[in-house]
Each structure stands twice: as structure tokens, then as C-alpha cells.
Structure 1
Amino acid sequence: MRDHVSSVWKEIDNRLYQKFKFTDFSTAFAFMTQVALLAEAQQHHPLWKNVYNEVEIWLSTHDAGNKVTQKDRQLAESIDQIFLR
């Protein structure tokens, strides 16, 4: 079960950042699996970290000099949609 989004995506150091919190590790990992499949389909892979029930994601576009682009914003929106299901 999803717990909540701790905040909206923030732009920090030329990256979009978001922290997602879940009720347990299994749910967090299932979320990461869905995001991984989405990212692979879009050929746009996040930097992320998982510790128990929390997943942190950073997005930037490497081809654009590691800056935030529309591609990142679109992926962030898609990730939010997965989270809210």
C-alpha cells in the first residue's frame, strides 16, 4: 500500500527530486519494478535509492548535459501516475 508523496517534485542541482514512502519494502520494490519498466520503455533511466519503505528518485537528461528537460518532467508525471494507482 502506498503511504504518501512526501512533497512535490523539486528541482535541485539540475535534477528533479522526489521521495516516495510506502507501508513496507515489498510495496516499495513493486513500485520500483513498475518505474523500471516505464523508464526502459522511454529509454530514460533514473538515479534512485531504496531503503526499506522509501524510494528516492533523481531525474536529469544526460544527453542535455545533465539538466532537467521536458523528458524528465514527462517521466516524473508518469511516475506519479504509477504511485497514485
Structure 2
Amino acid sequence: MSEWFYQESQTESFLEREFVFANFLEAFAFMTKVAILSEKNDHHPDWRNVWNKVYIKLSTHEANNTVTDKDRNLAEEIDRIL
């Protein structure tokens, strides 16, 4: 998870990462793969897409918006699909 950054505030902690692709279609294809992983893991990211960039933020809502193994595991799975 070398490119994931851990962030913490008074109200939450999360992992975040920015992914950059050649164009919108590549970014969207990546998001589709992440969506399938998310459903499989029943763990869904907070994310957004701007043209060729995808921004992903992971935290576990059931654990008061903190980073748990669910987030670390999903981050590793996301890294493997690149």
C-alpha cells in the first residue's frame, strides 16, 4: 500500500489515494473493476472521478469512520488490479 496515504482528523481516519490514467475511458474502466471488488467485499469507497483521475477514500463507517482491516484489505485488492 505504498501509494495510499493515511489521514487523520478529530472525527475520522482514512486511507486515500489518487489514480491517474491516460483518459476518461481508462479511469472509468478502473472504477468498474473497483465497484465489482467493493460489492464482493461488501465495503464501498468514498470516491470521485475527474476526467482521467480517480480519487478514493477508504474508512469503515461501522467503526466510527476509522481505518480497519476492511480498508487495508480493499486497498491491497485495488492495487492488484492496476
Q: TM-score, length-normalised on structure 2? A: 0.91
TM-superposed CA distance for 1:81, in Å, is 0.5
1:46 aligned to 2:41? no
Measured in 2, the distance between the counterparts of 1:71 and 1:42 equals 8
Instruction: Name 2:57's counterpart in structure 1.
Output: 58
The alignment-based identity, stated in percent, is: 55
Give the letter for the 2:63 counterpart.
A
Instruction: Name 2:16's counterpart in structure 1.
Output: 17
TM-superposed CA distance for 1:12, in Å, is 1.0
TM-superposed CA distance for 1:52, in Å, is 0.3
1:75 aligned to 2:70? no
**SS state at 1:68 partner:** coil
Measured in 1, the distance between the counterparts of 2:52 and 2:66 equals 28
- List structure 1 runs of 4+ shifted beyond 2 angstroms: none
Deviations 1:29-79 (A, max 9, x none): 000000001001100000001000000000000111110001100000000
Measured in 2, the distance between the counterparts of 1:64 and 1:78 equals 21
Give the letter for the 1:62 counterpart.
H
Q: TM-score, length-normalised on structure 1? A: 0.88
